[in-house]
Amino acid sequence: MIHPLAQVSDQASLADDVRVDAFAVIGPNVKIGKGSWVASHAVISGPCTIGEHCQIYPFVSLGQPPQDLSYKDEPTELVIGDHNIIRESATLHRGTVRGGGVTRVGDHNLIMAYCHIAHDCKIGSNVIFANNASLAGHVHIEDGVTLGGFTLVHQFCRVGAHAYTSMGAALNRDLSPFTLATGNYARAIGINKIGLQRRGIESEVIQGLERVFRLLVHRRGHRPDEPEIVALRDCYAEVDRFVRFIEESKRGIIRTGRAAAE
């Protein structure tokens, strides 16, 4: 399953059925799980762990040292879960000591061509990064997020579960779960209603999310402990998740154009 023109280190550990095409380069301290494929001209450096049934396309670069001047060649790592598709020329870097030492990617993600995931990022599962979406260091992307093409995310930002960004969005603050964002710099424009419907979320839950969005994102002056918001949190776990994300945000959240103006 390893092409004779591939370069695979004797110190790499590959499952028996891993396929490695010609001119791929796999260095020491790389582990790859069963059913995975590494295409021609992909380069994987260790320490790096790749799970099962992953597809690594041509010219992908995985596990290179972080682009961080504080990095001093420490043995940090990149950990990638199962069933991930990483398309042409994407780059995913190892972590730094001050960021916990690990860049981590979950399961069932689609990372399209030319995307970049920097050091110490934490990516959930069932995430889609369209072409050229790029994350600076220490970014946290929760489950079910979709980033449109050329989306940029500032370092240390968080993007909540099932959020969605349009093409060219630039995020310099945290994006609340279930929220749509667009623009440079990004502004929130509503709840990701269509996406939630496709995921089987009930209409009453979506209506509850739309209500707290209007109160806490679109407007200012409202508080999470107001009776109406507390009642919605008690009724719907998704609303509670939305409000908790806002309460825990350290960078502040992306708001609508009106809220930003106010």
Unique residue bearing structure tokens 């260095």? 27
Which candidate in 21, 68, 107, 120 is catalytic? 120
Of the residues 81, 95, 106, 137, which is catalytic? Answer: 137
Is 119 annotated in the active site? yes
Measure the CA–CA gap between 204 and 77, rounded to whole angstroms: 43
Q: Are strands 13-14 and 30-32 parallel, antiparallel or unpaired?
A: parallel
Long-range contacts from 58-61, C-beta under 8 angstroms, 24+ separation: 58/88, 58/89, 59/88, 59/89, 60/86, 60/87, 60/88, 60/89, 60/90, 60/91, 61/89, 61/90, 61/91, 61/92
In the residue annotation, 16 being an active-site residue is answered as no
Q: Which of 93, 116, 119, 140 is catalytic?
A: 119
Q: Determine whether 120 is an active site residue.
A: yes
Q: What are the catalytic residues?
A: 119-120, 137
